[in-house]
Amino acid sequence: MTDADGRGHNAPCSNKDFDFFYRGLEAEQVLIQKCSSCSFLRNPPSPSCPECHSLEWQTLPLGGEGTVHSFTIHHYPPLPDFKTPHPVVLADMAEGIRLLGAMDGTAPEDIRIGMPVRFEFLRRGNVAAFRFRAA
């Protein structure tokens, strides 16, 4: 997909609701939606605010700090650009929302709920992405 300036991204799939998220990753930002009416933060993206139903929103870049709320270890099926088993973390971010992402650099058996994490940016193939690492 490309915008009016010809800049594009290589997200594996996107749509009108998710496009800003993948453009943010290309700029090394994890963006979430902030309601323009009531300031409610939401993630994953959605067309309207679940609190006040406003369709107006802005983006807010996350700072990257969080703690493990929960996690799972993905074994199967194999995914392009991922080694299995690989951990997938649901993190409580400092901004007060949860963010789901892959985690690298820590053995699956060493991951703990409450563990501090921080995200960093990388490319998986041609796709801009982020991953968590232990902080």
List interacting residues with Zn ion (CB under 5 A).
35, 37-38, 40, 49, 51-52, 54
Least Å from the CB of residue 30 to Zn ion: 20
Instruction: Output 35 or 103, the one with its CB closest to Zn ion.
Output: 35
> CB 54 → Zn ion: shortest distance, Å?
5
Q: Which residue, 40 or 121, has its beta carbon nearer to Zn ion?
A: 40
What's the burial of 7, exposed, middle or buried (CB within 10 Å: 0-12/13-18/19+)?
Answer: exposed
Q: Minimum Å distance from CB 57 to Zn ion?
A: 8
Q: Which two tokens stand for residue 79?
A: 């995914």
Q: 53 vs 133, which CB is nearer to Zn ion?
A: 53
Burial of 84 (0-12, 13-18, 19+ CB in 10 A): exposed
